[in-house]
Amino acid sequence: MINEHKKTILIVDDDMDSLDQLSLHVRNMGFEVITADNQKSAEALFNKQKPDLAIFDLMMDNPDSGFIISYKFKKKYPDVPVIIATAVTAETGMVFGLTSEEDRKWIKADMYLDKGIRPEQLQMHIHKLLKI
């Protein structure tokens, strides 16, 4: 199947190494990639362009930047899947997830992944969320 419109994925992370690595993996999967390295830039980007999927780091400008961006993004584009990818559990011991109804009410994301995910796992999750 030839895809005439490449799907666009927005990736937001303040760690440039992580942002570059994730962007490279996603581009290698055949997607267009747009990136931002902070909350303000991310909001400016998605207010100009609607991506097909978004991947947000959790801890950036503020410890909860990813949650704030995800909330604003989902308010604007409720139909676009969001993945929160973070190392917060490894760094702080705090555990987040989308396992309970309560979690899903305040965490406006479709999937929650711990950083360090292998490219093939990420591709599987992206394809599942985009239904491709």
SS (H, E, C) 54-77: EEECCCCCCCCHHHHHHHHHHHHC
pLDDT number for residue 29: 95
pLDDT number for residue 105: 52
The series of mean pLDDT values per 10 residues for the chain, 132 residues long, is 74 93 95 95 95 91 82 94 75 50 60 85 94 91
Please count the helices (runs of H) and the strands (runs of E) in the chain: 6, 5
pLDDT number for residue 107: 57
pLDDT number for residue 126: 95
pLDDT number for residue 116: 82
pLDDT number for residue 58: 82
pLDDT number for residue 1: 45
Is the CB of residue 62 less than 8 Å from the CB of residue 68?
yes
Question: In CATH terms, is domain 8-130 a member of 3.90.660.10?
Answer: no
Provide the residue ranges of all domains of the chain, joining segments of one domain with +.
8-130
Tokens of 17: 């190494």
Tokens of 131: 């239904």
* pTM of the predicted model as reported, rounded to 2 decimal places: 0.83
**Bridge partners, 34 (sequence order):** 10
